[in-house]
Structure 1
């Protein structure tokens, strides 16, 4: 087989590498039982679609630049793959930060609701009053909860919609507690809300410690990746003969294996960093009712 044939084989293998690693990364994603409310779902879908289009455009541009600059078919695939995955693999864990902020807000709202119960005429009035001074992370969900209660939506239905809007296990505990208290006139509700708030703050403290430990490994990943990229770019610019063998069909095959191993290791590290989802009470309750 001549060099042209080998080059075509390497190009096809590069495309298969990109597609295979994308499927692999998709298969590694933990999919917790999360069912956001309609309004939040539409906002998340629109935001995600816009973000993915921007990322795809940037990845294609970078891939074309790398491919034209080096003349390697594999450089295009590596550029697209790197721009698509590396920001999420090596960047800050925004999902964990958002979860911590949400749980902190749930704890603050639970304590606020506990303090409001003594001055309100009933549980429904206490919940409605607490929606007007919501923590920042819960401003929109609590605003929708308050609007539902003012629109005479049944208390249980409004709270369950609020739980689905947040889709968080801690929020489910608070919602189940309030729904049960409203239906069965539970005593010592203030004490129970205090315990839920303490449990939420304990989870926040634990999550902060875990994220701090994971940050060390993320720093190691960033360092290794930065050094590898800097060496590759540096040799390509200042000493091209060093990377010239990779321009052949055999060299592209070797580079394909190297990039595949790097990408596979990053996906595995991402899998390790991602915490296992906690089962939600509302989803479990709905499943048992359907069964």
Structure 2
């Protein structure tokens, strides 16, 4: 390979490396735009296996990229191999998912209904929230257990509820926490009735979201099959040396990087179309973007 060809190959490899960085940004656990929490989540230990798997995946991608580059002499081929190890499982998970948010909302609705029943029977707010950790639905069990632990540790009720809203990180969770905040402040008998009505509205929202997810199921399936066909076709093409021979030159590497970038951009665009936009939260500082747990009581924008 000539000097100009090597330079073109390196440029192509850098282009695909940019796609690797974009994939890493998309798969990061905490997007940069989100406000950082000062208090570490107590459920972080539950995330350690996932973090270890992610690190192992990145190591495997780097090793495979190096091996493919050394064996084939194609820098773009090595970068694409590493990108496939990371991106294909992530895209398959994105195209196969969709029900987790609905199940979490349904769990929140069930927890709110149980809490309202206990409050209607005469239970105190703090004790009811602490006892609810024993029977909390699985999708929100960790967050409710953390809320109960904070209340038992003599956290102020408002501060514990605001931290609970940050951990739920959902607009529906903000509605529930806003009702609990008002109940904790006013200490009136109407909190149980408010929570019962809120649970009814959450039930309607769950039904609506399930219909929406059913409509999105077909586009997700099409996107998943397109991804699998693309990977299979790329694998078969890699086994055909004569078909890939033109890509062995420096110009061929540059063309391969452009084609690969277009395919990856198309898959990411399809992923964006199949992922619903999250509802904006309102228990946050509208000016500074601080999470709810860092606000003073008079700063909480409860509507």
Q: Structure 2-normalised TM-score? A: 0.80
Q: Counterpart of 2:183?
A: 181
Mapped contact 2:284–2:300 kept (Cα < 8 A): no
Count of matched residue positions in the alignment of Structure 1 and Structure 2 = 288
- Report what 1:158 is aligned to: 160
Structure 1 residue 180: deviation in Å? 0.5
1:184-237 Cα deviation digits (max 9, x unpaired):
234532332122212323333333333333332232233233333323332443
- 1:52 aligned to which of 54, 75, 82: 54
Aligned-residue RMSD, C-alpha: 3.1
Match for residue 122 of structure 2? 120
Q: How does 1:7-26 map to 2 (within 5 A)?
A: 7-24=5-22, 26=25
Q: Distance in 1 between matches of 2:234 and 2:82?
A: 16
Gaps of 5+ in 1: none
Who is 1:289 aligned against?
Answer: 299
Q: Deviations over 1:97-127 (max 9, x none)?
A: 4322221111011000111012234333332
SS state at 1:279 partner: coil
Matches within 5 A, 1:96-245: 96-237=98-239, 239-245=240-246
Q: Is the 8 A contact 2:17 2:79 kept in 1?
A: no
| Structure-2 change in CA distance of 1:272 and 1:44 (3 Å) | farther
Deviation at 1:35, TM superposition (A): 4.5
Tell me if the contact between 2:98 and 2:275 (Cα under 8 Å) persists in the aligned partners.
no
Residue by residue over 1:66-87, the C-alpha shift from the partner in whole angstroms, topping out at 9 and shown as x without a partner, is: 3345442211011112222222
Structure 1 moving runs of 4+ over 6 Å? 27-30
Following superposition, the deviation at residue 36 of structure 1 comes to 8.6
Evaluate the alpha carbon distance shift between residue 282 and residue 231 of structure 1 in structure 2; reply closer, same or farther with a 3 A threshold.
closer
CA distance in 2, matches of 1:32, 1:103: 21
1:253 to 1:194, Cα distance in 2 relative to 1, 3 A: same
Shift of 1:276: 2.1
Bigger helix fraction: 1
Say if 1:120 and 1:126, in contact at 8 Å, map to a contact too.
no
Q: Give the 3 Å change call, closer, same or farther, for CA 135–36 of structure 1 in structure 2.
A: farther
Please give the alpha-carbon distance, in whole angstroms, between the structure 2 residues aligned to 1:40 and 1:260. 40
TM-score (norm 1): 0.83
How far is 1:256 from its partner?
1.5
Distance 1:69 1:254, change over 3 A: same
2:288 maps to what in 1?
none
Question: Contact conserved, 1:159 with 1:175, CA < 8 A, in 2?
Answer: yes
Whether the 8 Å contact between 1:10 and 1:74 is mirrored in structure 2 is no
Alpha-carbon distance between aligned partners in 2 of 1:290 and 1:121, rounded to the nearest angstrom? 26
Q: Work out the CA distance in 2 between the residues paired with 1:66 and 1:194.
A: 60
Residue 54 of structure 2 is aligned to residue 87 of structure 1: no
Structure 2 residue ranges without an equivalent (≥5): 286-291
Name 2:289's counterpart in structure 1: none
Distance 1:97 1:34 in 2: 26
